[in-house]
Amino acid sequence: MSIPLNPHAFQNSSSIQTLAAAQVWINRFPRPNQFNQHAWQTTKRLALLVWKCHLQQKPFRRTLNFLHPHFYEMIKTPEGISLLNETRLRRFDEI
- Nearest-Å Rg of the Cα atoms of the chain is 13
Instruction: Give the CA count within 13 Å in the CB-facing half-sphere of 24.
Output: 8
- φ/ψ (deg, to 5) at 5: -70, 155
Q: Output the pTM of the full model.
A: 0.82
Query: CA–CA separation, 28 vs 47, rounded Å?
Result: 12
Domain coordinates of the chain in residue numbers? 8-94
d(CA 64, CA 59): 13
pLDDT of residue 66: 64
Q: What is the pLDDT of residues 35-87, one digit of tens each?
A: 899 999 999 999 999 999 999 988 888 877 667 888 889 999 998 888 887 76
Q: Which helix (H) or strand (E) holds 44?
A: helix 37-56
Q: Which residue has the higher pLDDT, 73 or 89?
A: 73
What pLDDT score was predicted for residue 84?
80
Q: For residue 3, give the nearest of 95, 71, 81, 83 by alpha carbon.
A: 83
